[in-house]
Amino acid sequence: MCGIVGYIGHREAYPIILKGLQRLEYRGYDSAGIALYDGNNIKLSKTKGKVADLKERLENEITTTGNLGIGHTRWATHGIPNDVNSHPHYSNSGDLVIIHNGIIENYEAIKTELIKRGYTFNSDTDTEVLINLIEEVKKKQGVKLGKAVQIALNEVVGAYAIAVFDKNKPNEIVVAKLGSPLAIGVGDEEFFIASDASPFIEFTKNAIYLEDEEMAVVRLGKKIKIRKIKDDSLVNPLMQELKFNLEQIEKGGYEHFMLKEIYEQPHAIRDTYRGRLLAKEGIVRMSGVENHKEKFLNANRIIIVACGTSWHAGLVAEYIFEDIARIPVEVEYASEFRYRNPVITNKDVVIAISQSGETADTLAAIKLAKSHGAFVFGVCNVVGSSIARETDAGAYTHAGPEIGVASTKAFTTQITVLTLIALKLAKEKGAISNSQFHYHLEELELIPEKVEKALKSDEHIKSVAKTYKDAANCLYLGRGYNFPVALEGALKLKEISYIHAEGYPAAEMKHGPIALIDEHMPVFVIATKKGHYEKVVSNIQEIKSRKGKIIAIVTEGDVDVKKLADHTIEIPETIESLSPLLTTIPLQLLSYHIAVMLNKNVDQPRNLAKSVTVE
């Protein structure tokens, strides 16, 4: 779960790599480093801290000229974040240098063997072991770098996206991938290497995404040759055209990516349903579902696997699939599902939800489901990601790049896609009346403008945030469709402000959490008109009697809750099944403002990374 960048060509490598690392910091940001070849030697600088810290240090430490280089931004797995454990890593001779995203599981055994052969190690990392294994193979077998990498990788167990170069052969970079993403940008007499295409989007729109167990020698003046690491067979490179642009991955005047992404939601939701939702015609067009209709319609059940926010979107989908399409659904944490020997049959449809499409646990859950014969459908944002490729069919969310570590537009666009699927299946099954189907489509089409309206409460939400920014704990309550939104609201607050928060189904409160309520406890309650309103009002009364502070998300024009709550935040009215698309907006903004007021790093919260590509 790190970011890697490389460049070889006619430009100065340093600014490209530095900028690229900044764009990839969402993948990890506890240390960073760069190695450049200056025409004679390798210049390497690395440090604990962020890419900005590296920049400050590096420009005093090394010359930054050179047309070949590699860089890394780290999320530590083996070895604490410090200067020495940061990447790139040299081999013992100092000839080879490597960057690595992933984990080499059998590194201890290899290290022991290498130590016996006289190798020494500076760091605690598995990566330094790998580069020395490559060096040992190269020397012992007298092979070229590409071959040495291939032989070494056949000896390791684990996951990797690596880039390696040799100072004695400065016209090539060797790259390989298993389990971690690796994209090669192909320009005119130049190549870019990165964990995703964002570091090179302004230079080329042509990219090749390596598949698992593939490697390539990226050599100047040559066409890229991709080989299978195991059997050396050649693979035809599939060139893809990148569809996003630079503007989409920059902050565009917002202070943080998270805020930009919250405000992008009206647009993102529209992009998600564009061409799929034809409200006037009464049609939901989704080829991924259409082409496998029988699988869905004959399924015994749908199993949804995901992690974090995507899991919360899965919980919302459980309500809508069961409520509208009458298909039984189970929602599983991918990390539990993959290890608990679940009963899966070829009559199950598994839906894997993932913004990044790279989450290791979700990928493993998919592989497990496929091995049992289940049909696996992916709901991903990142086009061409591992999950998008691994699944039998799928639907992209088309939310555009999400850079802030806290997921916002990914959540609402995932719900949009899942709602469209549920509606399509409900119609096919005859589980929904024509009029209800049309009504749902029309309401869904109106959601973007209602989100815009909900965003207008931002200033008011900021003032509420000010009141509660120093809370030590918070509770989030919701019922029905909005129970998962309560979980999501609590997760948003936890991850960016480090305030402890818990989400609960409102009625569960009396089975335990009510003991926590006193005059210091802010309780965020989703109390919209459609959706167990009276019951939630009773829950609010229970909080009030115990002096809890009530911040309620209500439907515009609400009277009853306003009388009880300390603060209310209004959202436009919609049908219950679509309400999560609106109720989540004020909760995102609340977390955002609290984190900003507490001076937290909103886009890069501590200990987290955007893509969790390790277990």
Binding site for ligand M6R (CB under 6 A): 307-310, 354-356, 359, 362, 405-407, 491, 495, 611-612
CB neighbour list of residue 523: distance below 8 Å, 6 or more residues apart: 474, 475, 476, 477, 517, 543, 548, 549, 550, 551
CA-to-CA dists, residue 518 to 154, 440, 513, 515, 527, angstroms: 60, 41, 11, 8, 20
- For ligand M6R, which is the closer residue by CB, 69 or 308? 308
Helical ranges in 142-273 per DSSP H = 145-153, 257-263, 265-273
Question: Active-site residue 307, yes or no?
Answer: no
Amino acid letter for position 40: N
Q: How far apart are CA 309 and CA 496, in angstroms?
A: 14
Cα 403-404-407 angle, rounded to 5 deg = 105
Q: How far apart are CA 586 and CA 451, in angstroms?
A: 10
Rounded to the nearest whole angstrom, what is the least distance from the CB of residue 451 to ligand M6R in the complex? 18
First to last CA, the chain: 10
Q: What is the DSSP letter of 82?
A: S
* Residue 388 backbone dihedrals phi, psi, to 5 degrees: -60, -35
Question: Active-site residue 2, yes or no?
Answer: yes
- For ligand M6R, which is the closer residue by CB, 495 or 603? 495
- For ligand M6R, which is the closer residue by CB, 148 or 487? 487
- For ligand M6R, which is the closer residue by CB, 152 or 585? 585
Identified catalytic residue from 2, 307, 380, 474: 2
SS3 299: coil
Q: Say if residues 491 and 308 touch (Cβ distance below 8 Å).
A: yes
- The torsion defined by the Cα of 250, 419, 359 and 249, in degrees rounded to 10, comes to -10
Rounded to the nearest whole angstrom, what is the least distance from the CB of residue 364 to ligand M6R in the complex? 12
Kindly calculate the radius of gyration of the chain based on its CA atoms and give it in whole angstroms: 25
Identified catalytic residue from 50, 409, 494, 610: 610
CA-to-CA dists, residue 389 to 181, 332, 345, angstroms: 12, 21, 22
Rounded to the nearest whole angstrom, what is the least distance from the CB of residue 406 to ligand M6R in the complex? 4
Rounded to the nearest whole angstrom, what is the least distance from the CB of residue 405 to ligand M6R in the complex? 5
Rounded to the nearest whole angstrom, what is the least distance from the CB of residue 332 to ligand M6R in the complex? 13
- For ligand M6R, which is the closer residue by CB, 85 or 362? 362
Helical ranges in 506-545 per DSSP H = 533-545
- For ligand M6R, which is the closer residue by CB, 191 or 592? 592
Rounded to the nearest whole angstrom, what is the least distance from the CB of residue 514 to ligand M6R in the complex? 27
Q: How far apart are CA 47 and CA 357, in angstroms?
A: 29
Q: Say if residues 437 and 427 touch (Cβ distance below 8 Å).
A: yes
- For ligand M6R, which is the closer residue by CB, 191 or 483? 483
Rounded to the nearest whole angstrom, what is the least distance from the CB of residue 598 to ligand M6R in the complex? 17
- Region for residue 430 given its phi and psi (left: phi exceeds 0; alpha: psi -120 to 50; beta: otherwise): left
- For residue 170, is the peptide bond before it cis, meaning its omega torsion is within 30 degrees of 0? no
Q: Say if residues 416 and 269 touch (Cβ distance below 8 Å).
A: yes
Q: Which H, E and C letters describe 544-575, residue by residue? A: HHCCCEEEEEEECCCCHHHHHCCEEEEECCCC
Rounded to the nearest whole angstrom, what is the least distance from the CB of residue 245 to ligand M6R in the complex? 22
- For ligand M6R, which is the closer residue by CB, 180 or 611? 611
- For ligand M6R, which is the closer residue by CB, 67 or 265? 265
Rounded to the nearest whole angstrom, what is the least distance from the CB of residue 407 to ligand M6R in the complex? 4
Residues belonging to the active site: 2, 610
